[in-house]
Amino acid sequence: MAGAIGFSVLILVAYILSILGTGLSPLIHVMLIITALTFDFHKYAKISKDEALTLGKLMLIVGLIAIIKVLILKMPTDTVDSVFHAYKVQYILKYQSLFPPKVPVFNVLSYPAGYHTIVTWVVLLSGDLIPHAMLVVRVWSWILIALGTYLFASVWFDGKVGIYSAMVILVANIYNYYLIIYIHPNFLGFYFFMATLAMFYLVLNKKDTSHYSDWTIITIFFILIAAGTLFVHPYEFQAYVFIAAVYLLISIYYKELTLKHAILNGLLYFVLPLAIYAVLNPYFWWPELASKVAIEYPWASYIEVAVNNLAVFTGRNIMDTWDRFKFMVNWATLRNYSYFASLLLVASVGIPLSKKYKLKELASLWGFVLFVLLLILNRLTYNIPIPFYGTAAMERMFLWLTPLFPVFIAVGLRTLLDTFNEVVGSKKLKAIKLIFLVFLFIVPAQGIAYDMISNEANYYVNAHNLEDFEWINERFSGITVLNSCDADSGQWIPFFTSNTVLFSYVNYCRVYNYTPKAVEALIQEGIVPLNATLAYIDTNYPSLNPLIFYTRFKLLRYNNGNWIFDITSKNISENYDILKSQIMLCKNTISGDTYEDGRYYVYGFMKKYVMVEYFHLHGLNYAWLSGQNGTIIFVPCKNYNRIAISFISLSPDPINTTILINGVSHTIIANPGDNIYELPAEIQSGTLNIIEIKKERNGGLFLIKSIEFSDYNWRMG
């Protein structure tokens, strides 16, 4: 609970400081002051043996979760979501305010800044880079979610369910899937959601208040956490409101509360946090207040903010499909051999009903599950506008259920074990527990979810990019860099260097009427627009074509497929010498493995993408040609006169394809499935050789398995 209180105070202080215009540097001291005021040494000095054992179990589980995630997590430098949040943090730091007078896009202001305040605090405290601070907060999210799950489950149910719930996080499919495909504020919001529910339950039932001298204090803490939940992610507050409202209604039914008391509780626990949020974050409720804020990129002033449709939303996301719904349900239940956990989900309804165990609590939580499923079904069918709750995309609705699944599984496990204890006795129960644990943990471990692991690799800044950014930062300051934008590490240059880029998600990859491809076309005509100094071309994906720049501008650096050009200089005399050391080929094969030979695949190929990693994990290391054109370059150590190109076409139809070897054209038919073509070629050692692949039409991926070279005559295949 302390983490939720501390972070909520930190967020509220940041908003107050921003309104006062005093800067955010005092945030450095806030958490230290809170810790000093609230840490109870006396409490921990008198901890009982049972409490110590429970704490030890919990710390072991949290430690395992943290270690497993730290081993695989990478800096969150993918596109769209991460870039948006990084820019919001950058502008908060730049202007020392959550309400900067200048923003890159309008909805940077309207998006609540709870998550960004915590990242800003990490940067202020450590002096770290924003992407690394985001990674730190991401690891904290995993730890806090484990602690929050224990807190929520133990308060709403009991200590056993709390420990089981935290333990089950390790094998809960839905958690592992969604927290790897990470949505920053939303998932940190899971912790606040669970802390808010736990505090609501404690306040309403007046339990566990013996550590506070005044019941009012715990109520204040609750309101702080509820407001903090709103500032981190309003969706989680909406989920809390529904569950808490159902709990209040059931309490009225059981005559534990009068209607008057329930309404008063609703005003206190629902309306007051909203009032705090409205006062401190007016842009969310009244976007027109931001009309005087300067938009940094006028061409990207997309004013239609989602908040304008907060109450009633009638749209439908392109991902709102039956297939996507089936995929999500499968992930939450049977995926990865998780049959026993799914059985426990069913048991969490059936057994408690028969034993009358925590019926109010389970009815409130399962009522919310049913409500969310009805929202999803409505979206997939009639799509009737539902106020507030219907504004989320279908998958975001499903995300509301994520924190509840481990708790349901734990309730099922606890009640099932109790049932077995009644039937077979406590002596045989240990053996049954062991069997249950095998089915919960060992069996799912046999079904390695390669797609889940490969999603973790879907980040665009790798070790080579970091080397390039350091190289740029040491030599250039305050310049503008031309980059390709889509699936591009280059848009992260402003967060690792003191320079800016032309194209990013925040300006929708467009500067006035220029896109990266429009700039490339102008460069071919001899025009260099937009006053950029460098071009940084990360040859992941169909990006800018580096060979267009290679023949026109000075090449400063080539690093494993990444090019840096000085586009203020047309001195190309040293370009070949800089390039050749990196693309020397002293073997007879260029494999499709872009981990090994990615430096040769310089245009048109996916090299950092979820499915590339997926194939790599399966031992199928292919170069993905995703567009119409692809280019491969190399400097061989000897002469060859033939090549054999082996590839897979995923198109259902044959595609006419041209393969140019140093400008000499060969026409082939790429049939569906495996293809091998042997072609004559004049490959000269010690010179730059170019293989181009041009498909007749854009459609269907080509997976290049290998290109083999020979210096003797092969029969045409």
Closest alpha carbon to 409 in 163, 46, 120, 220? 163
Tell whether the model's pLDDT for residue 42 goes beyond 90: no
Residue with tokens 């041009």: 694
**pLDDT confidence of residue 301:** 43
- Relative orientation angle of helices 184-205 and 114-126, to the nearest 10 degrees: 110
Q: Report residue 306's pLDDT band, with 50, 70 and 90 as the boundaries.
A: very low
Tell whether the model's pLDDT for residue 309 goes beyond 50: no
Tell whether the model's pLDDT for residue 249 goes beyond 80: yes
Least confident of 114-128, 395-409, 447-461, 478-492: 447-461
**pLDDT confidence of residue 646:** 96
Q: What is the DSSP string of 270-318?
A: IIHHHHHHHHH-HHHH-GGGGGGSEES-GGG-----GGGGSS------T
Tell whether the model's pLDDT for residue 39 goes beyond 70: no
| C-beta neighbour count of 292 within 10 angstroms | 7
Q: Which residues contact 235 (CB under 8 A, 6 or more apart)?
A: 186, 189, 392, 396, 399, 400
Q: Report residue 287's pLDDT band, with 50, 70 and 90 as the boundaries.
A: low
**pLDDT confidence of residue 28:** 87
Q: List phi, psi (to 5°) of 128.
A: -80, 165
Residue type, 402: T
Q: What is the pLDDT of residues 55-71, one digit of tens each?
A: 777 888 787 777 777 77
Show the beta-strand stretches assigned E in 492-533. Answer: 500-501
**pLDDT confidence of residue 317:** 74
- Tokens of residue 405, six digits: 């699944």
**pLDDT confidence of residue 41:** 47
Q: How many Cα atoms are found within 13 Å in the side-chain-facing hemisphere of 286? A: 7
**pLDDT confidence of residue 93:** 96
Tell whether the model's pLDDT for residue 18 goes beyond 90: yes
Radius of gyration of the chain (CA): 29
Average pLDDT of span 29-33 = 76
Task: Provide the pairing of β-strand 480-482 with 664-670.
Answer: unpaired
Tell whether the model's pLDDT for residue 181 goes beyond 80: no
Q: Which residues contact 376 (CB under 8 A, 6 or more apart)?
A: 325, 394, 397, 398
Closest alpha carbon to 537 in 476, 604, 470? 604
Residue of 456 and 138 predicted with greater confidence: 138
CA distance 163 to 158: 9
**pLDDT confidence of residue 312:** 57
Least confident of 221-225, 437-441, 710-714: 710-714
CB of 108 closer than 8 Å to CB of 167: no
Least confident of 110-119, 173-182, 194-203, 257-266: 173-182
**pLDDT confidence of residue 310:** 47
Residue of 235 and 308 predicted with greater confidence: 235
Q: What is the pLDDT of residues 545-576, one digit of tens each?
A: 999 999 999 999 999 999 999 999 999 999 99
**pLDDT confidence of residue 333:** 83
Q: What is the pLDDT of residues 456-487, one digit of tens each?
A: 667 889 899 999 999 999 999 999 999 998 88
Burial of 545 per CB tally in 10 Å (0-12, 13-18, 19+) = buried
**pLDDT confidence of residue 672:** 93
Residue of 488 and 355 predicted with greater confidence: 488
Residue with tokens 């302390």: 2
CA distance 572 to 552: 7
Q: What is the DSSP string of 571-640?
A: --TTHHHHHHHHHEE-SSEEES-HHHHGGGEEESEE-SSHHHHHHHHTT---EEE-SSEEEEEEEESS-E
Tell whether the model's pLDDT for residue 448 goes beyond 80: no
Tell whether the model's pLDDT for residue 311 goes beyond 70: no
Q: Report residue 300's pLDDT band, with 50, 70 and 90 as the boundaries.
A: very low
Query: Which of 441-450, 455-464, 690-699, 705-714 has the highest mean predicted lDDT (pLDDT)?
Result: 690-699
Tell whether the model's pLDDT for residue 32 goes beyond 80: no
Percent of the chain with pLDDT strictly greater than 70? 89
**pLDDT confidence of residue 302:** 42
Tell whether the model's pLDDT for residue 716 goes beyond 50: no
Q: Which residues contact 62 (CB under 8 A, 6 or more apart)?
A: 143, 146, 147, 166
**pLDDT confidence of residue 446:** 62
Burial of 436 per CB tally in 10 Å (0-12, 13-18, 19+) = middle
Q: Which residues contact 108 (CB under 8 A, 6 or more apart)?
A: 84, 87, 88, 91, 100, 506
Percent of the chain with pLDDT strictly greater than 90? 47
**pLDDT confidence of residue 661:** 96
Tell whether the model's pLDDT for residue 599 goes beyond 90: yes
Average pLDDT of span 671-687 = 93
**pLDDT confidence of residue 180:** 56
Q: What is the mean pLDDT of the chain?
A: 85
Average pLDDT of span 453-457 = 71
Residue of 237 and 327 predicted with greater confidence: 237
- CA-to-CA dists, residue 363 to 197, 352, 358, 369, 506, angstroms: 14, 10, 8, 10, 43
Query: Which of 4-8, 260-264, 539-543, 575-579 has the highest mean predicted lDDT (pLDDT)?
Result: 575-579
Q: What is the pLDDT of residues 639-662, one digit of tens each?
A: 999 999 999 999 889 999 999 999
